[in-house]
Structure 1
Amino acid sequence: MRKLAIILGFCLLGSMLTSCALPIVVSNYVDSMGNEEDRKKIEYTDEAKKSGFTLEKPATGAVAGKDEFLIQGSLAESKAGDVLSVWVSKDGLSGKKPVTIMDKKFQDTIPLYYGKGQHQVEIMIEKNGVHVTVAKFTVDKTSDVEQTPVKYSGSYQTNGITLHQPLTGGKSYDGKVLLQGTVVPPSKDEKPLKYMIVHAEKGEDTSRYYLPVENQKFSQWIPLRFGAGDYKVSIWLDEMTDYLTPVADFNVKNTVTADLRDLLPGSGMESDNPELIALSKKITANASSPMEKARAIYKHVATNVSYDLKKKDNYWDDGALKTLRERKGICHDYALTTVALLRASEIPARYISGDAGEPHAWVEAKIGGKWIPMDPTWGSGYSTGKKFVKAYDPSYFNPNPASFKKTHKKPEVEY
């Protein structure tokens, strides 16, 4: 049986600083791992017995895994919203994976981060605000793949979020990364999440996406639109305040060389949707040049969408498909729809967030190597009091630059 003095003595060694920095309450261990045979056992603490913690998988220590392994078990002394903290360590490096407990049971996939060899696994529960170890064992990783831990925040746990894909950072992707998981509120009284927000950053370039949550699940490909290199992908909660609450973040590498920021689909700009591609082809069927195609798309949006004077500022689920279906929207919707149709026609286009006497959105398309502006909202008609009057105006397609700049102030491009 291990002695407390020996455990505390290890903390004085420089090679053990990472492990000893973890918030652990030391307990006497039931089993010992002093030799190879004992290493194959799962080492449970006294606290495991007190709290009713059991592991069904793995059934023994020293199991083997390629890049990950499965844990499954139960915690009798648990309530809604409780989370296990599973720490995976090797050669002084550590990463944590939160595991949600539902109805006193848990099951999750745990990554092995640090290359081939023996990884130490430590499972902890939180008790009275303190993290307490309940079990330890080892897993032998059989692959040489190096991975990095996802960084999770407290809101990940309190909102019942589980990220199934990706399990780790540090991987390479061909232009897009899949975010997939579940959101199960710990309490039935809690309002379910409708969406989360994703940022994909490369240097000073940032793209923003809405991640819908439907039937307690989310699944969406996030484009890496700024060309090859390293990206930070972060997930946030929109608390409808002046700031976002972090959920999780991880790093990835994009292997696609081309910078496709103005051609890839985005939130509300579903340019890869078959319905939108078919519509863009129909709209531009008689156009013989990119300029004529862009003009035809501008006219279609301006004449087929009416301004919604009653719409409120809650537009996380807006998009081109929704706008075309409902045939109404605000400047945000006009711009999303125009950009989507232009990109579906392989014309580079971007959403401009600016000011035209009040916050406003319009579009720029790249034609003949130049960015030309268009404002399909102003080209759609005008308002008289509480009524919108449809009146197509072609002058807001590729307008005189000097005149347009007097009314439209462009502070930023949004991706």
Structure 2
Amino acid sequence: MNRKKNPILSVLLLLLSSFFILSGCSDASPSDAKAKAEKKQEDKYEKLVKEKNKELELQPLELGSYNEEIGSTFSSPEHKEFAVNGKVVVEGKIDKFSSLKSDYILIKVSADEEGPAGQQHEYYAKLKEGKYKQTIRFFNGEGKYHVSVHIPSNETENYYFEATAFDVHNVNPDIERDLVLTPFGQDAEVALGVDSGYVKENEIFRLEGEAGNLTDEDTVMLQLTKDMESWKHIMPIKDGKFSYDVPLFYGKGVHELEVLVPDEERENYYQTATTILIDNESDKTMLPIEYMDQYLERGVTLESPVYGGEETDGMYSIKGKIDPNAEFGPDTTHIYITTKKGEDEALDVIPVKDFTFDDSFYLRFGPGTYEVILSVPEIKEENSDYFRFYGFARFEVESTGEDQRDLLPSRGVQSDSEPIRQLASEITAGKSTERDKAKAIYEYVAKTVAYDVEKLETDDFEWDDSALKTLDLKTGVCQDYSYLTIALMRASDIESRFVEGMARGGWWPSRHAWVEAEIDGKWITMDPTWGSGYVDDGKFVAKYDEKYFDPNMTEFEKTHTRTGISY
């Protein structure tokens, strides 16, 4: 059945349809708006390029005579002076490429004026079957640049001829400094976790990278420079990867960071793989850490600190790890810390557990500048009564802490441990004066600890000999008697110190240690080892003797010669 159309209804439907269409088109998304804005900006620069090129009256690119000799031609660029919007492509081919002494084309870019990203940059375009193509961006944004293309000699190593040169007027203000790999960087297959050769950071730059053609036997060198200042550091490669938190030591401004890889032709020599310009936004200056040969040889990685000169309130922490595959890696059970302030020096030791170390130590000599040296122990097969250690890092620390050298815990003296504190409280219970407390501690140690003749004769000394170890074993030699006595004294708030010297118990003097404690404002001497008994025919005879507590010094010095204090 035919139905006639209602003309009024048709008009209404048409208007309603138009309304929906108009409504849908007016609801543009933010991404569309952004794309339009970027397109408008792009069009603006492209327009500027066209206008500038009209002014320049473009002239053909000029080629040097060496191009004809090796069959070199350029497909881009075409002119010797022209304008661009942010980038230009250098592309060409060389017929006689097999005769060249290098597989890389060198392209030098120089800005008319120095900017935040420098004034010069270089590219290395790899020749592939005689062809090369390199995109160049402009590291200082808008301005005039001179670009020269250099082709390797066909006769002499490391020599290049200028093939052509041209001037570029960049109309785009964006700073684009490409991260460029040198031939050494490309051969090592270096890849970094940044895309740009110019970055902005604040105090620390996190460097992460890979080197596909390097092994765990290789290392990477970093060199950081700013003005006349320079710092170098060598770091290991693990599974083809490397990383380091690079401190921007020299304050606000651009730091140049070179990443260098081993030169395959020369031992212990490095070549630049790439260079990054890091614009530090912080005014803070920092002191570099000095690393010694042992750092790499013993497989140490120091994770904290990353720079020196930090300020602390009297306690400082270090953190790091030992490579289990390094020489003596599994045998490195502890780290030594030497702290020096003026004439004062202390030695601390922290354990290495599961190839990691993470612990604190005291800066015990009061406020001021400390030199801190971190060391690894000598690994020896035979027992001895001395320990050698070798520094792997040196740095400075500023301390604001008080001088509590004779009250703070120290190497072998765990006066802050709960067993020591509890025992000290029990020993001194009911004692009201410092002298009575000190006498009680001396008596406890002298009566409780037996002299270990075998340890002395076999030189069975260990790096972890200490007050706690002596308390557990109830045996020891002079150092162990002294450790436990000092720990109990300090736990009782009595200042005390470890005395080194010589003692004459027979015909010949031998090394010895005893204790000094400050009692009622006066330093007194005590020797709990000699107060515990004596050795007869190679055996220890326990016989408590109180005369070695605050002895008559005239008589004491007939058998004891004090050489100094040890911290």
TM-score range, shorter chain: 0.7 to 0.9
3-state SS in 2 of match to 1:317: coil
The 3 A distance-change label for structure 1 pair 169 and 368 is same
Q: Which residue of 2 aligns with 1:237?
A: 376
Q: How far off is 1:62 after superposition?
A: 2.8
Q: Which residue of 2 aligns with 1:287?
A: 431
3-state SS in 2 of match to 1:333: helix
Mapping for residues 6-405 of structure 1, pairs under 5 Å: 29=124, 34-36=139-141, 40-55=177-192, 57-127=193-263, 128-187=267-326, 192-239=331-378, 244-256=389-401, 258-311=402-455, 312-356=459-503, 357-405=509-557
Q: Which residue of 1 aligns with 2:90?
A: none
3-state SS in 1 of match to 2:273: strand
Q: Which residue of 1 aligns with 2:558?
A: 406
Q: How far off is 1:159 after superposition?
A: 1.1
Distance (Å, rounded) in 1 between the aligned partners of 2:138 and 2:440: 73
Report Cα offsets for 1:185-207 as digits up to 9, x if no partner.
Answer: 44477653122322111111111
- The two structures, once aligned, show a CA RMSD in angstroms of 2.4
Report Cα offsets for 1:59-113 as digits up to 9, x if no partner.
Answer: 4333333221222222223333432222222222122233221122222222111
Distance (Å, rounded) in 2 between the aligned partners of 1:32 and 1:305: 77
The 3 A distance-change label for structure 1 pair 29 and 201 is farther
Instruction: Please say if residues 81 and 158 of structure 1, whose CA atoms lie closer than 8 Å, have aligned partners that are also in contact.
Output: no
Instruction: Please say if residues 481 and 529 of structure 2, whose CA atoms lie closer than 8 Å, have aligned partners that are also in contact.
Output: yes
Report Cα offsets for 1:306-353 as digits up to 9, x if no partner.
Answer: 111222243211111111112111111111111111111111111011
Distance (Å, rounded) in 2 between the aligned partners of 1:79 and 1:189: 20
3-state SS in 1 of match to 2:464: coil
Instruction: Please say if residues 137 and 177 of structure 2, whose CA atoms lie closer than 8 Å, have aligned partners that are also in contact.
Output: no
Identity of counterpart residues, as a percentage?
Answer: 37
The 3 A distance-change label for structure 1 pair 349 and 115 is same
The 3 A distance-change label for structure 1 pair 109 and 388 is same
Report Cα offsets for 1:371-412 as digits up to 9, x if no partner.
Answer: 111111111222222322222222211111111111110011
Instruction: Please say if residues 431 and 437 of structure 2, whose CA atoms lie closer than 8 Å, have aligned partners that are also in contact.
Output: yes
TM-score (normalised: structure 1): 0.87
3-state SS in 1 of match to 2:307: coil
Distance (Å, rounded) in 2 between the aligned partners of 1:166 and 1:68: 12
Aligned residues: 392
Amino acid at match of 2:198: A
Instruction: Please say if residues 158 and 186 of structure 1, whose CA atoms lie closer than 8 Å, have aligned partners that are also in contact.
Output: no
Distance (Å, rounded) in 2 between the aligned partners of 1:270 and 1:243: 23
Q: How far off is 1:229 after superposition?
A: 1.0
Amino acid at match of 2:539: K
Report Cα offsets for 1:241-267 as digits up to 9, x if no partner.
Answer: 9964331100111112x3211111111
Q: How far off is 1:137 after superposition?
A: 0.8
Amino acid at match of 2:528: P
More RCO (CA 8 Å, sep 6+): 1
Distance (Å, rounded) in 1 between the aligned partners of 2:552 and 2:363: 34
Amino acid at match of 1:262: D
Distance (Å, rounded) in 1 between the aligned partners of 2:494 and 2:486: 9
Choose 1 or 2 for highest CA Rg: 2
Distance (Å, rounded) in 2 between the aligned partners of 1:78 and 1:124: 12
The 3 A distance-change label for structure 1 pair 32 and 297 is farther
Q: Which residue of 2 aligns with 1:21?
A: none
Instruction: Please say if residues 87 and 96 of structure 1, whose CA atoms lie closer than 8 Å, have aligned partners that are also in contact.
Output: yes
Distance (Å, rounded) in 1 between the aligned partners of 2:256 and 2:323: 29
Instruction: Please say if residues 216 and 236 of structure 2, whose CA atoms lie closer than 8 Å, have aligned partners that are also in contact.
Output: no
For structure 1, the residue ranges without an aligned partner over 5 or more in a row are 7-26
